Structure 1
Amino acid sequence: MTGPGPGPVVVLVGPPGAGKSTVGALLAERLGTAYRDTDADIVEAAGKPIAEIFFDEGEPHFRELEQAAVRAALADHRGVLSLGGGAILAPVTRGLLAGLPVAFLDMDVAEAVRRVGLDAPRPLLTVNPRKQWRALMDERRPLYTEVARAVVSTDGRTPPEVAQAVLDALELEQR
């Protein structure tokens, strides 16, 4: 199954640990389509993990790679697409998402700490993760909301429940 027009049938955005990869794979299965993750595209192209890109070349270089990966995926992919947590920081990316079936997977800080953990290899959450996560979400929540056609809370829900909530919110038919 593919979307009615150009671009992915669903685009997932949200903070680190929201379950974009897990929910994205479930959505692709339910919709009978392919799943793609722009973070995985970046890792494959760079030949190293995102944390190493941040460390070796810095966040600005990573964001350039991310913008290119998102642009390519939005142009080429017709299935379910997950974007990295910070992809929406780029105005160009937010513009590319306009009019697309975007779902923002939202969660509160307690859920984030439970899921992401305090020692996970997430470059932006290395020191005082609770405080940094709150600051990150204060900055990003308005941007996630701006690009989203649907906001789906993941708090207290299993990945299959979140996937169903996305399907319902975007009024997509399962296969």
Structure 2
Amino acid sequence: MSGPVAVLVGPPGAGKTTVGRVLADRLGVPLHDTDAAVEELVGKPVADIFVQDGEAVFRGLERQEVLRALHEEEGVVALGGGAPVQEEIAEALRGGGLPVVFLDVTIADAAGRVGFDVSRPLLLVNPRAAWTRLMNARRPVYEELATVQVQTGGRSPDEVADEVLALLGLTP
């Protein structure tokens, strides 16, 4: 095996980490969450990196980690919501032959999951409007890069994982 078995993309609240954990468990592979990897590297939460160091610093760290993960990780890789919008990452996803799964969600379902709390730095001011603006900008990128697209709203992580596995032709 070389490279991830699945790369999960989507907006905050889509369930990338949660569904990723279910997929990884079922397939017997590790889950690699790139936001968590950046937090571990820097020693502070993503929200603190945004506030203390700025978005540009975070995006640089994110780009480095995602590109590394796409080449070196062999399990399920969950990307931060904004990662695919970075051109170098989008190009790696386009040309890498990787199974990219767009986990789609409505704002109502996303709000119920993340509560638009302070751990989501781009959603701090007017979270619903910010989420909608981000999603409107990112949706075309998610859709273009996706091998498959799965709705997560109103569904359990197990149900979403079932569909992802079926669409990608993966068997646990």
Q: TM-score range by the shorter chain?
A: over 0.9
- Can you list the C-alpha shifts for 1:10-36, whole angstroms capped at 9, x where unaligned? 100011111111111110111111111
Show the counterpart of 2:167: 169
Structure 2 counterpart of 1:67, from 60, 63, 69: 63
Q: Distance in 2 between matches of 1:61 and 1:89?
A: 16
The answer to whether the aligner puts 1:33 opposite 2:44 as a matched pair is no
Whether contact under 8 Å (2:46, 2:119) holds in the other structure is no
Aligned-residue Cα RMSD (Å) equals 1.0
Change (3 A) 1:31 1:52: same
Q: Is the 8 A contact 2:85 2:141 kept in 1?
A: yes
User: How many residues end up aligned between the 2 structures?
Assistant: 170
Q: Which residue number corresponds to residue 128 of structure 1? A: 126
Aligned to 2:75: 79
Of 2, 8, 18, the match for 2:4: 8
SS of 1:105's partner is strand
Alpha-carbon distance, 1:41 to partner = 0.7
Provide the C-alpha distance between the structure 2 equivalents of 1:116 and 1:156, rounded to a whole number of angstroms: 14
AA paired with 1:169? L
1:148, distance to aligned residue in structure 2 (A): 0.6
Structure 1 residue ranges, 4+ long, deviating more than 3 angstroms after superposition: none
- Paired residues of 2:6 and 2:101 also in contact (CA < 8 A): yes
Query: Which consecutive unaligned segments of at least 5 residues does structure 1 have?
Result: none
Separation in 1, partners of 2:81, 2:164:
18
TM-score if structure 1 supplies the norm length? Answer: 0.94
Residue 120 to residue 164, structure 1, CA distance change in 2 (3 Å): farther
Distance 2:62 2:161 in 1: 25
Q: 1:160: which partner in 2?
A: 158
Q: Distance in 2 between matches of 1:79 and 1:121?
A: 25
For the residue of structure 1 that corresponds to 2:150, the secondary structure is strand
Q: Distance in 2 between matches of 1:118 and 1:147?
A: 26
Measured in 2, the distance between the counterparts of 1:105 and 1:91 equals: 20
Aligned-residue identity in percent: 54
Work out the CA distance in 2 between the residues paired with 1:54 and 1:72: 21
Normalization by structure 2: what TM-score? 0.96
Q: Secondary structure at the match of 1:172?
A: coil
Matched, 1:108 2:106: yes
**What is aligned with 1:55?**
51
Q: For 1:19 and 1:155, locate their aligned partners in 2 and report how far apart those are by CA, in whole Å.
A: 9
